[in-house]
Amino acid sequence: MLSPELHVLVLAGGESTRIRTGGPKALLDLCGKPLLEHVLRTASSLPAASRVLLLGSRHRGPIEKWLAESAYRDWKVVLQAEAKGTGHAVAAALPVLPPAGRLLILYGDTPLLSPDSLRALVEAEGGGLLTAVLADPAGYGRIVRDEPGELRAIVEDADCDEETAAIQEVNAGVYCLDLAILRRALAELTADNAQGELYLTDAALAVLEETGGVTVCLENAPEEILGVNTLQDLALVAGVRRQLLLEEHMAAGVIVDDPATTYVEEDVQIGAGSRIGPFSVLRSGVRIGRGCHVGPFAHLRAGTVLADGAEIGNFVETKNAELGEGAKAKHLSYLGDVAVGARANIGAGTITANYDGKAKHRTVVGERAFIGSGTVLVAPVRVGRNAVTGAGAVVTRNHDVADGATVVGVPARPLHVPAAEKPE
């Protein structure tokens, strides 16, 4: 059982200069969620007495705005007015932390760490630090050990000589440290290094030596320590995260034809027996029932809900779209702000014209309705149960189609069809 004396600090005070987008790195999209949210969500899975987020002055405004609208608004924010290294950053947070306890230190740009890895770290007696063995350790601090294998030093990448640079075990920068001893160690830091900064690693090593802390090596999942310093890093990390998400879905019974070309974001629900075709994109918040078929080349955006057995085919885009059981939209259509009834069929080239230039409006398609190819449904509008629209029909706003009726033309008008010829 984890101690209630655990406190969590996430460092996100960087100026994002290497990202070069002009905005904060912390809010870059990673599989449908801000980069920082991945870290906060994982950290929040651990019971802690307090949670603190350290920000820099440059990007404080947009990050605080996002935080206030998120599920993490209870995190306490502190400011690092001037960036002088990771040791200085932790020191800037000390005034809002208690005098004693244990402090878990994380970085806002390391989004792949799992709850299990953090739990192993905080449960280590005497505290600890996370390490991993990387084929290419460039950019990371190296773990230097003595002959018996005990931790002797942590050398930052900029301070490595040729021999030290060849070491493949690296420091993840994630620590669980005795807070009272850390305060003393931070006060004794100097900036005598290549960067001229106060290194947290120096203080952390001193704390671990005094408390008998250990290293926790992520032997089976070294990719968890990957950080995001550039947009190239972001693409690499996103690829790793997408693969993990797809593996979770496949383990739960979802058929993914080609994981290499399938993009599924965070918080997507897919029922067992559903099949996702190549080059499909499923955005965060999409919910898919059992036995559905999506793709290839489908784009399901936020608010899309497919009931069991529904089908979305190639080059179909949906947003805020609900498809009932067995409903189909197989080709070249846009379905936005629409509810499609069970077993309705949406013909190729159908468009729900949901935006009038000022506001979005909703379309309702009844059960077993048949929407002909090339139909435009101008919202707000309702197409009734068992109704039919002819190919190329334009059903204008507020001109609802009655149950069982057939409409054709531009604008669409009722077509009187003998009852014997109407679809069932």
How far apart (Å, rounded) are the C-alpha atoms in residues 197 and 195? Answer: 5
Q: CA 3 to CA 36: how far, in whole Å?
A: 25
Is the separation of the CB atoms in 157 and 85 below 8 Å?
A: no
**Burial level of 124, CB count in 10 A (0-12/13-18/19+)?**
middle
Q: Which residues partner with 177 through β-bridges?
A: 103
Q: Could you tell me the sign of the dihedral formed by the alpha carbons of 95, 96, 102, 106, in that order?
A: negative
Query: CA quadruple 289, 263, 363, 372: dihedral positive or negative?
Result: negative
Measure the CA dihedral 364/370/375/378, to 10°.
Answer: -10
Name beta bridge partners: 336. Answer: 319
Catalytic residue among 7, 299, 331, 416: 331
Tokens of residue 180, six digits: 């009272």
91: its two tokens: 């020191």
Cα–Cα distances (Å) from 54 to 61, 62, 77, 83, 382, in that order, read: 13, 14, 6, 11, 51
Distance separating alpha carbons of residues 292 and 274, to the nearest angstrom = 4
- Counting DSSP H helices and E strands in the chain, the numbers are 8, 34
Report how far apart, in Å, the C-alpha atoms of 323 and of each of 21, 238, 329, 383, 399 are. Answer: 38, 29, 9, 14, 22
- Residue 252: CB atoms within 10 Å: 12
β-bridge mates for residue 126, sequence order: none
User: Is the Cβ–Cβ distance between 229 and 208 less than 8 Å?
Assistant: no
Please state, as a whole number, how many other Cβ atoms lie within 10 Å of the Cβ of residue 144. Answer: 15
331 carries an active-site annotation: yes
Report CA-CA distances (Å) from 326 to 308, 319, 344, 385.
7, 18, 8, 15
Distance CA 355, CA 177 (A): 54
Active site residues: 331
